[in-house]
Amino acid sequence: MKKMSFLDKLKNNNEEPMTQKSKKSHIPFRLNLLFFVIFGLFVALIVRLGYLQIAEGQQYAQKAEENSTLKIKSTAPRGQIYDAKGNILVGNKANLAITYTRGKKVQPKDLVPIALKVNELIHVPADDLSERDKKDFWLADPENLKAAQKRLTDADKVDEKGNKITDEATLYIKTVEKVTPEEINFDEQTLQAATIFKRMNSVGELNTAFIKNEGVTQDEIAIIGENSSEIAGVSTGVDWDREYPNGTDLTNLVGKVSSQKAGLPAEEADEYIAKGYELNDRVGTSYLEKQYEDVLQGQKAISEVTLDSNGKIVTQTPVSEGKKGENLKLTIDMAFQAKIEEVVREQYQQLLATGNAAYSDGAYVVVMNPKTGAVMAMVALDRDVATNEVTSNPLATINKAFEPGSVVKGATISAGYEQGVISGNDVLIDEPLQIYGSEQKSSVFNKTLGNQIPLNAEQALEYSSNAYMMKLVLKMMNTDYQYNMVLPYKTGDPTLFNVLRKTFGEYGMGVSTGIDLPGEETGLSNTAFDTDAAPMPGHLLDLSFGQYDTYTAMQLAQYAATVANGGTRIAPHVVEGIYDNKSDGTLGDLKEEMKPKELNKVDISAEQMNIIQKGFYDVVHGTGVFTTGRYMQGAALDIAAKTGTAETNVGEHVTVNSNVVAYAPADDPEIAVSVILPHLTSESTRPNQSMVTAIVNAYAEYKAQ
């Protein structure tokens, strides 16, 4: 068959009938449609590109700029702490500093040449580096790293199951083990470079570390500035340290701040990070510094850094200086605190000199305003019995607890009112109580079996009747006293223990006082009612006159304050207010005043509270033969009080806790006081009363100034 040429084909196509042409006439239409769609897409693309360039061009240019220019933050000085008169307790000492801000994608190997150069420029004393610190520095050199990696055996590269280890961190740890002691036997200059490297390598991307923040000279600041182009990320700045210009004994009360090296406490790191903190930020770690961290922490300064294509910092420019933290002003006047400590120390030294405090572990005193809860003085002298060394430790007033003795009896009478077993100034018979299976229990002034003395509630406080309190408890058991009786109280039943403790808690004993300090102890309350060591029924009688649970000096001061103000328990506080800064950074205007915080009211009537207050007054001013607090008469201000003696032991030695809760002036109280003198050999000289009298006199003198 003859092959058809291209021209023949073209000819045949032109001679096709019209029906065939009409069938193929759709092809140009589809092509036209396709061309139209493509044209439309090109138009849309051009319009979109124009929109991006004209309408949003600036926004995208800014984003591109942000990829190479970033903002970093650095800490500002903390707020300062002042006493009640505006004298500075805790301030900040500014130090010149050399800093390093880590860029993006910066590896340890990138830090080595910078560390070496900085080491040439300035003197940085070597830290006491660990073996791991030295190995990390040695391995940061790529050649050293390769050499150590070659020492890895096949066994080193597989896990316990024989699988190949792909995790770089795990392999690095194994590589570290291959570094020999000889390779990290650095000379002093190398140790200094390793120290600089460690400090630089301690922070993550876009975080700042201090290379040197102590003893930095102006010459070193200038040298760093002159060589900034060779030491990417290294800059100059200012650091601060806490300082205590008046050398007060309240330093442990205000607490501590972590170093940048320590950074955030590990157990609280997540909580702080959620608030915007960095791992190396310094924060308050104890007491006021911790309690008021959000107030004292300043607003961070902001700097703008420019990165090169490798993520290294090229320039660093300050944008915002930040803001110093707000200030705290305390309720404690340093001068008054010092005076009360002088009184306590002088009288305690007398006890030591006479041998009366041979087994004593200290003296503990709190003075507070019963109407506002403002703490005016916290004095605690801790004594090391072995060395006889006496140290000041105000925090012991909230974290050391002792048996209170009869000071609690006002609260016991209050429990009697609440339980309805007495209603007013009811009379009960004071007599020695002989309970079956227990030793005789009696008041100090009435130990002869068969001797009966009728006492009302006020007299029970004035004379400090143990029997009155125990009979209140018997009435709560729905029984009256009979000689050698068996208590109708089941061993292991906590009900009445809880009844007494509930009322004691209304006065602040055995519960948190609500003070604005962390670390408060609530004392010891035996609640092991279902064990072999469970309280016996006789222990309930002991609890009624303060010979079972233990309380702190702050709890007893709150108790005294609650009686003094008529039955409102107010949280003690040591911060009077939060203040702004003046332009020079010192104490500015009041921003927030700490208002009195009412925790609860004692659940008795005003008439019943008046009876307790009258009993407290008679403890000092009564004329009865058994009046217990007469040695506080003659003070500069009228005192109302309740004394307490708790029988204790130190090893084989019989001792006593000599305590007092008091307030003055009795008719319009301005101060509430607690005194705890634990483990004395004798109370014959009434040291507790002598100390309270001296404290009240010191307050009267202070008030008159």
- Catalytic residue numbers, as ranges: 406
366 sits in which H/E element: strand 362-368
How far apart (Å, rounded) are the C-alpha atoms in residues 334 and 377?
Answer: 9
- Whether 655 and 683 have beta carbons less than 8 Å apart is answered as no
Angle at 308 between CA 229 and CA 238, to 5 degrees: 50
Q: What burial letters (b/e) apply to 242-259, b meaning 16+ CB within 10 Å?
A: beeeeebbbbbbbbebbe
How far apart (Å, rounded) are the C-alpha atoms in residues 327 and 81?
Answer: 6
In 3D space, the residue among 374, 377, 146 whose CA is nearest the CA of residue 253 turns out to be 377
In 3D space, the residue among 686, 678, 660 whose CA is nearest the CA of residue 360 turns out to be 678
Two tokens, residue 280: 């190396």
Two tokens, residue 593: 């005043």
How far apart (Å, rounded) are the C-alpha atoms in residues 412 and 463?
Answer: 15
663 sits in which H/E element: strand 653-664
317 sits in which H/E element: strand 313-320
Two tokens, residue 75: 């800490």
The string of DSSP letters for 558-599 reads HHHHHHHTTSEEE--BSEEEEEEE-TTSSEEEEEEE----EE
Considering only CA atoms, give the Rg of the chain. Answer: 40
How far apart (Å, rounded) are the C-alpha atoms in residues 139 and 165?
Answer: 20
| Alpha-carbon torsion, ordered 179, 182, 185, 190, to 10 deg | -70
544 sits in which H/E element: helix 537-544
In 3D space, the residue among 283, 269, 322 whose CA is nearest the CA of residue 73 turns out to be 322
- Total residues belonging to the chain: 705
How far apart (Å, rounded) are the C-alpha atoms in residues 602 and 611?
Answer: 14
Burial bucket for residue 276 (CB in 10 Å: 0-12, 13-18, 19+): exposed
Q: Is the dihedral of CA 474, 477, 480, 483 positive or negative?
A: negative
365 sits in which H/E element: strand 362-368
Angle at 680 between CA 352 and CA 471, to 5 degrees: 160
